[in-house]
Amino acid sequence: MNDIARLSAAIKKFRDARDWAQFHTPKNLAISVAVEAAELLEHFQWLRDDELPRYIQENHEPLSDEIADVAMYLFALADDLKIDIPQAVHRKMRLNAGKYPVKKSRGSALKSHRL
């Protein structure tokens, strides 16, 4: 069992002990991923780039907590949808490699249709 499978099993055990599966529909889990990602973004709202290093250092634990919240809902959603996250990531990276060839995209923030 890989690390993600172990985490997914631990998340499911936590959820099931609280009888929360009834609330964890794919729609609600997807919404929760977005909500928690917004809470992560809120940490960076209005910060200047030069303020980031100090803010990150001083807020490492709360940032870690928000990232964990996003990951837990994402892992639960992937588990419910029977999506293998490492396999999905590798597949998407192969697709992105075709959309963003190194020669055209290196050092560029342009979207693929603009390269």
The Cβ of residue 86 has, within 10 Å, a number of other Cβ atoms equal to 11
pLDDT at 1 over 90: no
Q: What is the pTM of this model?
A: 0.90
Q: Which residue has the tokens 């960076």?
A: 44
Per the CB < 8 A criterion, the answer to whether 71 and 36 are in contact is no
Domain ranges (residues) in the chain: 3-83, 85-115
pLDDT, one tens digit per residue, over 43-76 is: 999 999 999 999 999 999 999 999 999 999 999 9
Architecture of domain 3-83: Orthogonal Bundle (1.10)
What local confidence, expressed as pLDDT, does residue 76 receive? 97
